Structure 1
Amino acid sequence: MGVADSCQSLTSTWRRHVKLRLTIVNGISHKRSIVTDSDLYFDENLPACSYPTVPLPFNLLARDAGFLVCREITIVIEVVALEVIDTSDNDGAKSNDVNGFQVLPSQVESVKPKHCIKDRSMNPCLRTTYMNLLLGIIETLCQLPGELSDSDLNEASVAVLYVAQGGFKVDWLEKKVKEVKEKKKNVDTGKARLQQMEQDLQNLNQKRLDLKDLLDKEKANDLAANAPLSFNDVLKKF
């Protein structure tokens, strides 16, 4: 963690007191999420420092632990400046507010007004978590149906239910998940038909080769049977 361009744009008396909150989100229960608060102080002599070590649960990657959702672990970091002295005018990249969520400009198109929630008083950390999960579901659905596994789509369905429990109106997204599932089913069925047709064609080709060999032998036998005797063949016994 560090203050951007501190040596160039800030005076020698600058100081920043920042409160950091790191949350490892649990998809089963918010109470089981791991939350770590830290106070960091930055000044001319200490423009950057390492984030404090965060203890990880032993079952972090276990499916039934609740931290792994759609094969992803969501980590939310909140930064709050409690004391700022001699700040610069460089605010860096700005995010956009959409329905009370802070999202990147590149994500605005994915987060339309219909992706709203009923309860706007939700904790900002949880709102951001839901939004990241929502965007993750959308990114999953944008992949080629044939490249998605049944497990991917089942996890997407579970994630949609989880987002719905958070107050999101995601009936439209549930329909999209079903649509992609149907497409994948058609792709898998078509792939199976193609494999069967290729196998049938291979069998037919083999039969054609076998029949050609049999035909060549039959022609050779017919040619031999239809050959006339020569004068010497007739007189061999005399």
Structure 2
Amino acid sequence: MLNQSGKELKRTSEACDLFCTEVPAWGYPKVLPLSKVKEEGFLENNKLIIKVEVKVIDVVHKGDLTGTEMLDFNGFQVLYSVSSVSWIFSEHPDIAVDFKPKNRSVKTAYMNVLLGLIETLKKPTLSLSENA
């Protein structure tokens, strides 16, 4: 981050990640919370300047997805269309630290159950009852 005069105030470490239009939620939501921006004086005249450098190393996929393509995300096979998986790892980075099965199918099944549970819990309570 730069102040208005161009002086660098903060730099985050470099990262190498896969981004695609099919999963727009991927990113770094907690790199620098607004409270820290205010506390550390990064705002100058109520403005914040962020300089981002993006280096495209490889274009992995150039065509349209059919909805069945899989992506290896933190060692788990997930559908490209499942954007909630990035939220899980950003909110709870240690969620799978102790879960290290060697069988990829077991890892995929684990992630699918977890994602299904999250989707179920996001629904309104009335829609979860047996009579609804």
Structure number with the bigger relative contact order (C-alpha 8 A, sep ≥ 6) is: 2
Q: TM-score over 0.5 for the alignment?
A: no
Structure with more of its chain in strand, by fraction: 1
Larger Rg: 1
Q: Tell me the TM-score normalised to structure 2 length.
A: 0.37
Q: Tell me the TM-score normalised to structure 1 length.
A: 0.22
